[in-house]
């Protein structure tokens, strides 16, 4: 998609509105009223289209000076595509289509939208919508939308495919006196999508915080790749809808968007550095916090309070956050002794007492802000007899803060203290109603500040014989073989230089003994059946077999047990596999290709416990060096395994190399739909893939 004309969308010199101006409350008249009421300084051309139908020659009149950069179309869907083609001929660079009745209703509407997309792409015209409510740009005093109440100017930009979500957020911002720089209603996202908006807002000097609401994605990989560089410059907050089966069904009917798996969305946003929130209240709090305060330089926090109980509750709230209770410096304590009564306890939380005047509380904040050890301050103010909350808010807001410390205020239980909140917000101090919400927000800011300092991810391309692998996969698909198991995958593993124990198929106990003798070491026998997905389900593995009798006996036991437990399964024999010496750690790597984000890689322990406790790490390909290292180390059970008695230190580098190689393999071949390496045997001298299975499908990427 070409989005080079987004400036024409948000800062047009002249714009046209095409719609029915004869109807009092028509969309065209409402947009015209909002533009004029907000003081838009550019030229506005109204093209009247009674009953939503365009009259002959109406568009030609738009060829004027200054040229029309933006056209807002409020017409019947059947006329929109032809109008867009005519607008392109007149030099219009961008269009906003407010009309519904396209992909959002399905049926014929889907084909109308496809026609619209084709025309806009061919004519190189930026298309917002259809089924949207427009845009607003505060710097240009342009309200080209159906929203008549907008907040004041600020540094937060917001976009959403949902019109109601746009209206809810804008209404909240107006009520809470939070400033915005731009907003866009994306509608069906026929061409202009979240990734394009992110790139535009990343370069927008008027925007310091980007917030959005997501409902599915048309191109998830494009969005994730765009976000990785943008989040290094500005915080991006995203509320994700459709994270359940019912939510995904609702999305499809809402804006006709494609949905993906919950895990894929969460992993994509995490890898891109996007801050994920799960409800509107948190989105609002974080947007305000990021918009008003600098990023913290460290985790050291001081709590100032006029209530001992409120201070204790706030201190308890630090559990589970990345924040630390700081110790006040000697010089800071000396300053505080000059401000507070002699009996005041100079600790953290710093309890100034309920009798402290507003000016004393402000002086305490000023003294604390001079302490070089501190990064963040949270003032927790509780109501009480003689406590003038509004006066305290005014005094706190007047304290000079500089740009080194993050300061937030919590007015405990002050749901009705709107005046105090407005005073604080006007002075750039974010205000919360509960300490936990404030601490969670501060912790989120700290994690984002630390993430920004991380070096850019380094992707690694590992050696492989891609021609050999391509020939193997093409042969499998040509023969209609889409599911491969165990030793059948050895050619692919060899092409990527992945180690695996020598394995052969034995159809009889006699041949199993011969293979074991040829291997010349203890062997492992595994049941061989395409109908048995996991061998542990039928207790289908025998290890440490050294003598011919042991091999022969194990072969009979495994096949008999499998036929008894799974009578419908076809048993082709047993796999005879060399045994890796020592006490290897059994791990599992599973790859599932998501339709929007590509290969989703899961790493964890092998066996039932990993599934029961859901102890695994997730990343989307391509993996960077840091991704692979973090995946290996972030599972809880893995830390326990490293300390298990009798086990040597594992070769972590070899394990990371295996993850990177599998990432490369799944990117090289979109035909790989699922890939599972289980078990992966990790030892102090290397890593072996002792079991594997793969599902192939015709590539759609």
pLDDT value at 583 more than 70: yes
Compute and round to an integer the Cα radius of gyration of the chain.
32
Q: Determine the average pLDDT of the residues in 546-567.
A: 94
pLDDT value at 94 more than 70: yes
435 lies in the same domain as 490: no
Residues 132, 256: Cα–Cα separation, whole Å? 13
CATH of the domain at 297: 3.40.50.261
Last residue of a domain, one of 453, 483, 500: 453
437 lies in the same domain as 298: yes
pLDDT digits (tens, 9 = 90+) for 302-321: 999 999 899 999 999 999 89
Residue 24 token pair: 């009092």
pLDDT value at 20 more than 60: yes
650 lies in the same domain as 519: no
For residues 199-226, one letter each, b for 16 or more C-beta atoms within 10 angstroms of the residue's C-beta and e for the rest, the string is bbbbebebbbbbbbbbbbbbbbbbbbeb
Residue 256 lies in a domain: no
Phi, psi at 139, each rounded to 5°: -65, -35
pLDDT value at 700 more than 80: no
CATH of the domain at 604: 3.30.470.20
333 lies in the same domain as 438: yes
pLDDT digits (tens, 9 = 90+) for 489-498: 999 999 999 9
pLDDT value at 248 more than 60: no
For residue 253, the model assigns a pLDDT of 46
For residue 227, the model assigns a pLDDT of 87
For residue 210, the model assigns a pLDDT of 96
pLDDT value at 128 more than 70: yes
For residue 607, the model assigns a pLDDT of 76
For residue 581, the model assigns a pLDDT of 85
pLDDT value at 501 more than 60: yes
pLDDT-above-70 percentage for the chain: 91
633 lies in the same domain as 499: no
Instruction: Give 386-422 as a DSSP string.
Output: T--HHHHHHHHHTS--TTT-EEEEEETT-TT-HHHHH
Residue 264 lies in a domain: no
Find the range with the poorest average confidence among 57-61, 409-413, 461-465. 57-61
Residue 651 lies in a domain: yes
Last residue of a domain, one of 77, 103, 132: 132
DSSP assignment, residue 624? B
434 lies in the same domain as 302: yes
Query: Please, which pLDDT band fits residue 416 given cuts at 50, 70 and 90?
Result: low
Which candidate, 617, 615, 614, places its Cα nearest to that of 601?
617
305 lies in the same domain as 405: yes
Residue 477 lies in a domain: yes
pLDDT value at 644 more than 60: no
For residue 510, the model assigns a pLDDT of 95
Last residue of a domain, one of 578, 595, 624: 578
Q: Domain residues for 613?
A: 585-696
Residue 17 lies in a domain: yes
Answer whether 243's CB lies under 8 Å from 216's CB. no
Q: How many domains does the chain have?
A: 4
| Structure-model confidence comparison of residues 140 and 637, the more confident one | 140
Q: What is the mean pLDDT of the chain?
A: 88
Residue 72 lies in a domain: yes
Q: Determine the average pLDDT of the residues in 502-525.
A: 93
pLDDT value at 4 more than 90: no
Q: Determine the average pLDDT of the residues in 414-431.
A: 82
């Amino acid at each position: 998609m070409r989005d080079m004309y987004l400036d024409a969308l948000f800062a047009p010199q002249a714009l046209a509105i095409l719609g029915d101006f004869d109807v009092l409350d028509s969309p065209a008249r409402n947009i015209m009223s909002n533009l004029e009421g907000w003081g838009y300084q550019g030229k506005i051309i109204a093209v009247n289209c009674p009953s939503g139908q365009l009259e002959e020659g109406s568009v030609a009149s738009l060829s004027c000076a200054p040229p029309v950069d933006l056209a807002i179309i409020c017409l019947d869907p059947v006329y929109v595509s032809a109008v867009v083609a005519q607008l392109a001929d007149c030099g219009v660079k961008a269009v906003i289509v407010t009309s519904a009745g396209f992909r959002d209703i399905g049926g014929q509407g889907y084909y109308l939208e496809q026609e619209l997309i084709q025309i806009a792409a061919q004519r190189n015209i930026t298309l917002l919508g259809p089924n949207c409510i427009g845009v607003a740009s505060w710097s240009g005093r342009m309200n080209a939308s159906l929203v008549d109440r907008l907040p004041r100017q600020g540094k937060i930009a917001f976009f959403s495919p949902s019109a109601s979500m746009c209206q809810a957020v804008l209404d909240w911002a107006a009520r809470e006196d939070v400033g915005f720089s731009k907003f866009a209603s994306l509608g069906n996202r026929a061409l202009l999508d979240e990734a394009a908006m992110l790139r535009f807002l990343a370069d927008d000097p008027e925007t310091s915080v980007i917030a959005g609401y997501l409902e599915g994605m048309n191109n998830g990989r494009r969005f994730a790749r765009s976000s990785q560089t943008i989040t290094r410059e500005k915080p991006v907050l995203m509320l994700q809808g459709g994270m359940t089966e019912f939510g995904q069904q609702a999305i499809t009917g809402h804006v006709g968007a494609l949905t993906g798996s919950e895990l894929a969305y969460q992993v994509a946003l995490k890898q891109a550095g996007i801050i994920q929130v799960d409800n509107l209240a948190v989105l609002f709090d974080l947007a305000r916090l990021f918009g008003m305060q600098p990023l913290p330089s460290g985790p050291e926090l001081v709590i100032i309070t006029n209530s001992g109980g409120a201070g204790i509750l706030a201190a308890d709230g630090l559990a589970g956050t990345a924040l630390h209770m700081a110790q006040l410096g000697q010089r800071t304590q000396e300053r505080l002794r000059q401000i507070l009564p002699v009996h005041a306890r100079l600790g953290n939380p710093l309890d100034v007492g309920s009798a402290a005047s507003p000016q004393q509380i402000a002086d305490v904040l000023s003294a604390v802000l001079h302490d070089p050890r501190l990064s963040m301050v949270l003032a927790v103010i509780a109501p009480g007899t003689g406590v003038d909350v509004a006066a305290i808010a005014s005094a706190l807001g007047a304290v000079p803060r500089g740009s080194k410390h993050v300061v937030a205020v919590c007015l405990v239980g002050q749901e009705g203290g709107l005046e105090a909140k407005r005073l604080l917000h006007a002075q750039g101090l974010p205000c919360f109603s509960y300490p936990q919400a404030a601490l969670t927000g501060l912790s989120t800011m700290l994690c984002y500040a630390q993430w920004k300092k991380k070096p850019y991810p380094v992707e690694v391309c590992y050696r492989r014989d891609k021609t050999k692998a391509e020939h193997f996969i093409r042969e499998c698909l040509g023969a209609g073989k889409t599911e491969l198991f165990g030793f059948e995958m050895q050619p692919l593993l060899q092409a990527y230089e992945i180690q695996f124990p020598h394995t052969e198929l034995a159809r009889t106990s006699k041949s199993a003994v011969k293979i074991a003798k040829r291997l010349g070491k203890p062997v492992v026998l595994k049941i061989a059946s395409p109908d048995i997905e996991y061998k542990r389900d039928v207790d289908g593995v025998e290890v440490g077999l050294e003598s011919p009798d042991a091999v022969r006996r194990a072969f009979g036991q495994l096949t008999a047990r499998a036929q008894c437990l799974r009578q419908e399964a076809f048993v082709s024999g047993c796999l005879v596999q060399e045994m890796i010496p020592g006490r290897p750690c059994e791990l599992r790597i599973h790859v599932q290709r998501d339709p929007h984000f590509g290969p989703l890689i899961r790493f964890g322990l092998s066996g039932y416990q990993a599934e029961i406790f859901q102890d695994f790490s997730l990343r989307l390909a391509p993996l960077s060096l840091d991704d692979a290292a973090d995946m290996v180390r972030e599972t809880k059970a893995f830390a326990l395994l490293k300390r298990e008695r009798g086990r040597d230190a594992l070769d972590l580098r070899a394990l990371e190399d295996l993850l990177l190689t599998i990432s490369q393999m799944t990117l090289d071949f979109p035909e790989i739909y699922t890939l599972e390496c289980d078990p992966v045997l990790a030892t102090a001298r290397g890593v072996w893939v002792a079991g594997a299975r793969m599902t192939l499908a015709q590539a759609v990427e």
